[in-house]
Amino acid sequence: MDQRKPPATEEGWYALHDCRSIDWDAWREAPQRVRDRALSEGIGFLDAYEAVEDAEEGQTAVYTVMGHKADIMILHLRPTMGDLDAAERHFEQTEFAAFTEQEFSYVSVTEASGYTEKSREYFEGEVDDDSGLAQYIQARLHPDVPDEEFVCFYPMSKRRQPDQNWYDTSFEERAAHIKRHGDIGRTYGGDVNQMIAGSIGFDDWEWGITLWSDDMRHIKELLTEMRFDPSTSQFAEFGPFYVGRRFDPSELPAVLAGQRVPTDDESVPETPADVAEHEHAPADAGASHGHADEQTASDAQAGAHAGGDTDSHGGTHPGSAGEGDHPHSEESSEEADSGSSGSSGGRPDVSADFEEIDDAAQRLGRLGLHEGDAYDAGDYALVFHSSADAEDIVDDVSDLESNFDHYDRHVQTAVRADSGQTYVVSIWTAKDAAETAAGFLKDIDGVDEQLGGSLGEGAESEETEDGSNAQTAESSQSIRETLESAGVYAGQPHGEDVYALVVYSEADAATLDEEAADLRSAFDRYDTHVQTTVYGDTDGDLSAVASLWDTEDAAQTASDYLTDLPGVVGRHGEGDGFGTMGMFYTVKPEYHEDFVEKFDTVGGLLEEMDGHRETSLLFNHDDENDMFIASQWDSQEDAMAFFRSDDFSETVDWGRDVLADRPRHVFLA
């Protein structure tokens, strides 16, 4: 038998259809703050990828999926398979991914092939690059994801049975099938858009078909009619079908809440990034945290949703040009509409493409960043040199820092200048997180030297008499682990799973609460706000406002408002010493007096400890059983000496019976 020649093909963007189910039991059981953080990271990921901040070009869209097969589908189109690989693994690093399970995925590449005379002219180079046909085929290879409400994805193959083998038919017979099939597809122009991607050697089927429409009945009618065409009835085999509806990343909270999406404008849940819109200070080249204006989820979608800044909707009607051995193909005329690629950005190269160094701590020291103030022992630093002026790149670095702040392992990212040279410094708690960040930082203007190294050894554990590991604690991470070993939840390294700000005031608690009420109402509009509470002591000598937020940037923004409250005398982190350690306890009403007496006893012990400055017990102005202990120390190690003590362990055991909820320990400096 003669060897049959396959049609010429050209490939474009690589595609990943990532279908995930939600672990609804785990989601319902998770604390609200954990769910809020998961939503924040999920929105941040989807926003960044829909805006194509990770690659030079491409598209991303997210859909609900109806039925039992999955709950959401993320569609990525990117120039390289490495981009898809990074996108899939980047999602797994988000807190939201922990509540999902990948039920189905499909890898393919957009494809054009030559079955008709016109397409053969294109592949043989007889068509000018600026011709309508050439531009149209390029638009098929680099499509814009349309903004139609519904999506339908399914994989398919051509049948290879002894008496029905597509690949044993002649070129002419296959071309005739494709032309007739395309004639059907063209009748649905304007009602159904499509994307055809080849997957031979990529996945279990030979093609992946993605259809979009504002009315699923159009897709049903199209596929029904095509079922009766011989190219389908004789030669087509189909995989599972996934049907869903597109939603904006900002509507992820509504999706998880079971609300209808798209939501009305008035009911769209505000994203955690929205709080950053309120009077951020300009980014400072010498600051460890920039506060440049951030995009909201809706702003990030402007120009990116459904195809970037182009007007085309990419996949035109089924039966158009250059689409390979699949059921929906035929050539278009040379007047076919052209398309363009999406927006640009930096591709995350998660490989360690920087030079490993041993003197990272010394280099940071020359830039004014020192252990204990700017980072903890065991963190990992990137030090990238840029030939650009510091003031020219500070905004871009600040924008990256705002994105990095979605991740708990990020410590800080900033621009530093030394002896007329410009450096970008990014500090993380783990090397693998820094490696991912390097892929973004290397695209900063003028970066020509890329270095990275560990910032000393992290805290080592030591065996206690009962065999448990107690941390020697040079960092807030070790504090958290020590508390957990004692059965006290202390959350993330920055302090539980929230960022906290405490402002002290000379005003009495009642007056302060009246002034803080309006602020609290305003803060409650934002998903990142956990709580803002006024506390006072029994003598009326000390009042405090404790404000808890899911992101550090949001807490910093809130501080600008809280410091305008009457009688403010200070906030955490000011002056020397360790600052404030905030301990929140909710006590069962019947044990209120017992808890106060216990505090007096423990307070007496604290006064005798080295490094202790002051510890005060304050009560919620609205609920006396909600208490806040503000403790001042000379250093973290001094504070840890108490947490490692037998007295603290006994207090923890005693508290199990008297507390109405688990305690929260938030480290504020």
Residue with the bigger pLDDT between 487 and 359: it is 359
Confirm whether 30 is domain-assigned.
Answer: yes
Choice between 170 and 123, residue whose per-residue pLDDT is larger: 170
What is each CA distance from 293 to 250, 279, 283, 523, 553, in whole angstroms?
Answer: 18, 8, 9, 18, 11
Q: What would the two tokens of residue 379 be?
A: 């963190």
Lowest model confidence (mean pLDDT) among 79-88, 108-117, 330-339: 330-339
* CATH code: domain of residue 403: 3.30.70.100
- Percentages helix, strand, coil for the chain (3-state, rounded to 5) are 35, 25, 40
Q: Are residues 449 and 494 in the same domain?
A: no
User: What is the rounded distance in angstroms from the CA atom of residue 470 to the CA atom of residue 460?
Assistant: 9
What is the Cα–Cα distance from 371 to 377, expressed in whole angstroms? 6
Residues 21 and 90 in one domain: yes
Shared domain for 479 and 408, answered yes or no, is: no
For every residue of 39-65, which 3-state class applies, written as one string? HHHHHHHHHHHHCCCCCCCCEEEEEEE
Q: Look at residue 517 and tell me whether its pLDDT is greater than 70.
A: yes
Under the banding of pLDDT at 50, 70 and 90, the label for residue 171 is confident
Domain match, 484 and 630 both: yes
What φ, ψ does residue 543 adopt, rounded to 5°? -125, 155
Same domain as 506, residue 445: no
Higher pLDDT, 283 or 30: 30
Could you tell me the CA-to-CA distances from 73 to 22, 105, 221, 305, 401 in Å, in that order?
A: 11, 9, 23, 16, 28
Highest mean pLDDT, choosing among 93-97, 235-239, 461-465, 580-584: 93-97
Cβ atoms of 20 and 70 within 8 Å: the answer is yes
Query: What average pLDDT score do residues 316-326 get?
Result: 39
Do 521 and 403 share a structural domain?
Answer: no
- Give the sign of the dihedral formed by CA 191, CA 195, CA 200, CA 205: negative
Residue 376 belongs to some domain of the structure = yes
For residues 89-99, average pLDDT:
95
Respond yes or no: is residue 499 known to be catalytic. Answer: no
Q: How confident is the model at residue 419 (pLDDT cuts 50, 70, 90)?
A: confident
pLDDT(342) > 50? no
Model confidence band, residue 565 (pLDDT cutoffs 50, 70, 90): confident
Q: Look-up: residue for tokens 């005003």?
A: 507
Q: What pLDDT does residue 302 have?
A: 30
Last residue within a domain, chosen from 395, 428, 455: 455
Contact in structure between 581 and 633 (CB atoms under 8 Å) = yes
Distance CA 323, CA 399 (A): 40
Burial class (CB in 10 A: 0-12, 13-18, 19+), 80: middle
**Whether residues 431 and 481 fall in one domain:** no
pLDDT tens digit sequence for 440-473: 788 888 888 999 999 987 654 333 333 333 333 3
Range of the domain at 408: 355-455
- Alpha-carbon span 412 to 494, nearest angstrom: 12
Q: Is there a domain that residue 509 lies in?
A: yes
Taking residue 33's Cβ as centre, other Cβ atoms within 10 Å add up to: 18
pLDDT-based confidence at 1, cuts 50/70/90? low
Q: What is the mean pLDDT of the chain?
A: 75
Q: Can you tell me which residue has the tokens 């494809």? A: 111
Report whether pLDDT(576) > 70: no
Q: Which pLDDT band holds residue 520 (cuts at 50, 70, 90)?
A: confident
User: Which tokens go with 221?
Assistant: 């009618």
* Least confident interval from 209-218, 454-463, 504-513: 454-463
pLDDT digits (tens, 9 = 90+) for 587-614: 899 988 888 888 888 878 888 888 888 7
Question: Which pair of tokens denotes residue 646?
Answer: 């037998």
Residue 85: the pLDDT is 95
Same-domain status, 51 and 165: yes
Domain end, chosen from 426, 455, 484, is at 455
Q: Is the pLDDT of residue 98 over 50?
A: yes
Q: What is the pLDDT of residue 536?
A: 83
Residues 429, 500, single domain; the answer is no
Q: Retrieve residue 509's tokens.
A: 């608690």
Query: According to the model, what pLDDT value does residue 298 have?
Result: 32
State the pLDDT at residue 526: 82
Closest CA to 177 of 297, 357, 324: 324
Q: Which position has the token pair 């929260």?
A: 664
**Looking at 422, 455, 488, which one is the last position of a domain?**
455
**What pLDDT, on the 0 to 100 scale, is given for residue 12?**
93
Question: How many other CB atoms sit within 10 Å of the CB of residue 68?
Answer: 8
Q: Give percent of the chain above pLDDT 70.
A: 72
Domain assignment present for 311: no
Q: How confident is the model at residue 399 (pLDDT cuts 50, 70, 90)?
A: confident
pLDDT surpasses 60 at 488:
no
**Nearest-angstrom CA–CA distance, 232 and 252:** 38
Q: Which amino acid is at 356?
A: E
Would you state the pLDDT for residue 507? 81
pLDDT at 303: 31
CATH of the domain at 146: 3.30.70.1030
Closest CA to 239 of 206, 198, 217: 206
Among 281-295, 350-364, 365-379, 545-559, name the one with the lowest average pLDDT: 281-295
Query: Do residues 483 and 591 lie in contact, with contact meaning Cβ atoms separated by under 8 Å?
Result: no
Would you say residue 197 lies in a domain? yes
Check whether residue 184 and residue 36 sit in a common domain.
yes
What pLDDT score was predicted for residue 67?
95
Question: Could you say which of 106, 115, 136, 154 is catalytic?
Answer: 154
CA distance 614 to 612: 6
Same domain for 395 and 526? Answer: no
Average pLDDT estimate for 312-336: 39
What does the alpha-carbon distance between residue 119 and residue 125 come to, in Å, rounded to a whole number? 10
Q: Which of 405, 411, 416, 410 is nearest to 444 (CA)?
A: 416
**Exposure letters 319-335 (e unless 16+ CB within 10 A, then b):** bbbbbbbbbbbbbbeee
Q: What token pair was written down for 460? A: 């080592």
Q: Residues near 1 by Cβ (< 8 Å), separated by ≥ 6?
A: none
Distance CA 582, CA 562 (A): 17
Give the pLDDT of residue 571: 44
Pairing mode, if any, of strands 355-356 and 447-454? parallel
d(CA 333, CA 666): 66
Residue with tokens 């199990």: 656
Task: Look at residue 488 and tell me if it is in a domain.
Answer: yes
Structural domains counted in the chain: 3
* CB contact burial 229-246 (16+ within 10 A = b; e otherwise): bebbeebbeebeebbbbb
Q: Are residues 566 and 639 in the same domain?
A: yes
CA dist 489 to 33, 52, 323, 410, 661, Å?
A: 13, 38, 57, 21, 11
- Torsion angles phi and psi, residue 303, rounded to 5: 85, -10
Residue 12 lies inside a defined structural domain of this protein: yes
* DSSP-assigned beta bridge partners for residue 9: 113
| Among 252-256, 494-498, 655-659, the least confident range | 494-498
Residue 336 lies in a domain: no
State mean pLDDT over 631-639. 73
